[in-house]
Amino acid sequence: MEIPPILVEIAKRYVPATAQAQILNAKVLFQTFIENNDELIQKITSYVPEGKLNQFSLVAAFSSASVLLFIHFLKMRTEAKLAKCNIKTVENSILYNWPVFGHSLGFETDPVDFFRQFNAAIECMKASDPDALYAYAMFGPKPAIIPVRPEGAEPILNSQTHIRKGMFYRLFEDWLGTGLLTSHGSKWKTRRRLLTPAFHKTVLTEFVEVMNEKAAKMMVILDEKIKTEKKINMLWPITLCALDIIVETAMGAESDIQFEENNYYAQAIFDWMELTQIRQKSVWYWPDWIWALSPIGRQQNKNVDKMHHFTEKVIMERWEHYKKLKEELGDDFEATYFAEKCDSRGRMAFLDTLLKCLDQNEIDLQGIREEVDTFMFEGHDTTAAAMTWAIQEIGQHPEVLKKLHEEVELVFGDSDRPATMEDLDNLIYLEAVTKETLRKFPSVPLFAREIDEDQEVIRNGKKFTIPKGAIYTIPCYKLHRDERHWKDPEKFDPNRWLDGGAAETRYAYSYFPFSAGPRNCIGQRFANLTAKIMLSHLVRNFSWTSLRVTNEIPVIAEIITRPKDGIDVILERRNA
């Protein structure tokens, strides 16, 4: 089954020449969909009585045409409304606006090419209209509004009304359910209230010991690697170390994940993100029933099962231990368990806070799994991505590494003692390095909101209206590099963040790696603490040189901003 040649010829005749390449891309997409979903098509046709296939085909064709015409009518009506809102579509030369499916049909299938295409569309809009605040792309009849300048992001990020994450985040629910990241309304407010105490600085201080231990293990692993490997790809060691930290701090489970060369949980997360991004940009996969019957949808279910099995096992073991101890200790339970004596190493975990809420009927077991899964995802992968880019940039700038070495020597001297909170507060330059890394490579390249009511925005005498029902897609990766707010935005310059640097007087919404406003990231302190401890251990123990040029590395933006093929460095022991 393929696109009828006559339709391709009609498209070639009536579609502008600038979109000819995307015609071929759309044909390939359609053909791939048919080939990959042959079982789905056979299942549908199996319900047709024998000998009635031709009649069925006619009815199906007529019904499909009616539905497609209706969708296209809705799409045209939305586009007419957007024209009155003073918001222009992205350039057809970059991303063609197809009938019915809109721009989603023209997205590149390769994640690197897709991200380049998306960023090029923003640059093209800025070049054609320097005063534009927004552009839009169509996902079928659904518009995605994209702020092309930081000033366009502020009204929605700072809003108390537009706090729903929207359609793109609904596609996370197969794994994360409706936890803190994906929920809205009263459930989100309740969960935020329950979880906020778990991220207080005094609580996070208790995690420093775990983080030091896990970072020290990573040093041992890297020591072994450099004995046999000339170059080291840092993506996997960093990812496993961050996951090791999160397993023990989030769930209180002892873990040696770092010593597993092929950890199934970490790999399942990578695979889940790849398939979720495919679904996000392919509007035909949005309906749950189509996704569930498709081969990649079934593969996604396997990934989700692996991840849920991992967390459910730990949650149930911890809950049974909690109940048993409560029964044994009676009135002394609170003083024992929450005085951090129940754990063999005397540590509270994020999960313990949730178990107390469960015991008080403030959350159920499914809710606990949702929040633990959310914390596992947001707590390790975002940190690992930021760390990987930081190592790349430091290794490409020997003057930065030299300053870091000088700083850790000033704070730690010749001691190999674990880092304390006071030490971390004194690592001013290291913090500037992490901030500059997150400016260039925010761990999450795009945020999204659902617009619940028309939002008027007035800037420089121009009025824009963001319509109700739109998907508001915030490209912080591009907004962090806006040339009006950052001098030499492609340059890695930690000095921006030191006293007297430009970052002191920056516009607030030109930098928001942890989002902003009421839905900012609740775990940003945890993420910063983890990154600083891991990076300080690395700087204290090693010197390294990056083998790739940062700005030439293809960027994969599959929910998380990662370098394609990781980061290769030559690693050397400082005291060798």
Dist CA 30 CA 66 (whole Å): 20
Q: Are 273 and 250 in contact (CB under 8 A)?
A: no
Crossing angle for the helix pair 208-228 and 235-251, to the nearest 10 degrees = 150
User: In degrees to the nearest 10, what's the CA dihedral of 267, 273, 279, 280?
Assistant: 180
Q: Are 140 and 100 in contact (CB under 8 A)?
A: yes
Which segments within 447-554 are labelled E, that is strand?
447-450, 455-459, 462-466, 471-474, 542-546
Of 94, 409, 379, the C-alpha closest to 242 is: 379
Tokens of 212: 């030091």
| DSSP designation for 4 | -
Q: Are 384 and 444 in contact (CB under 8 A)?
A: no
Dist CA 115 CA 110 (whole Å): 9
Q: Are 548 and 567 in contact (CB under 8 A)?
A: yes
Q: Are 139 and 471 in contact (CB under 8 A)?
A: yes
Question: Any bridge partners for residue 569, and if so which?
Answer: 232, 546
CA-CA distances (angstroms) from residue 365 to 44, 191, 312, 370, 496?
37, 14, 9, 9, 45
Q: Are 512 and 158 in contact (CB under 8 A)?
A: no
Q: Are 263 and 243 in contact (CB under 8 A)?
A: yes
Dist CA 38 CA 53 (whole Å): 17
Dist CA 501 CA 254 (whole Å): 43
Q: Are 141 and 80 in contact (CB under 8 A)?
A: no
Q: Does residue 124 have a known ligand-binding role?
A: no
Q: Are 97 and 18 in contact (CB under 8 A)?
A: no
Question: Any bridge partners for residue 458, and if so which?
Answer: 463
Element (DSSP H or E) covering residue 157 = helix 150-157
How big is the chain by its Cα radius of gyration, in Å? 26
Of 541, 552, 564, the C-alpha closest to 225 is: 541
End-to-end CA distance of the chain: 64
**Which residues lie closer than 8 Å to 349 by C-beta, 6 or more apart?**
248, 249, 250, 251, 252, 318, 343
Q: Mind giving me the DSSP string for 75-139? A: HHHHHHHHHHTT-EEPPTTTS--BTTTBGGGGS-SSHHHHHHHHHHHHHHHHHH-TT--EEEEEE
Q: Are 115 and 556 in contact (CB under 8 A)?
A: yes
Q: Which residues are annotated as a binding site?
A: 521
Q: Which residues are annotated as a binding site for heme?
A: 521
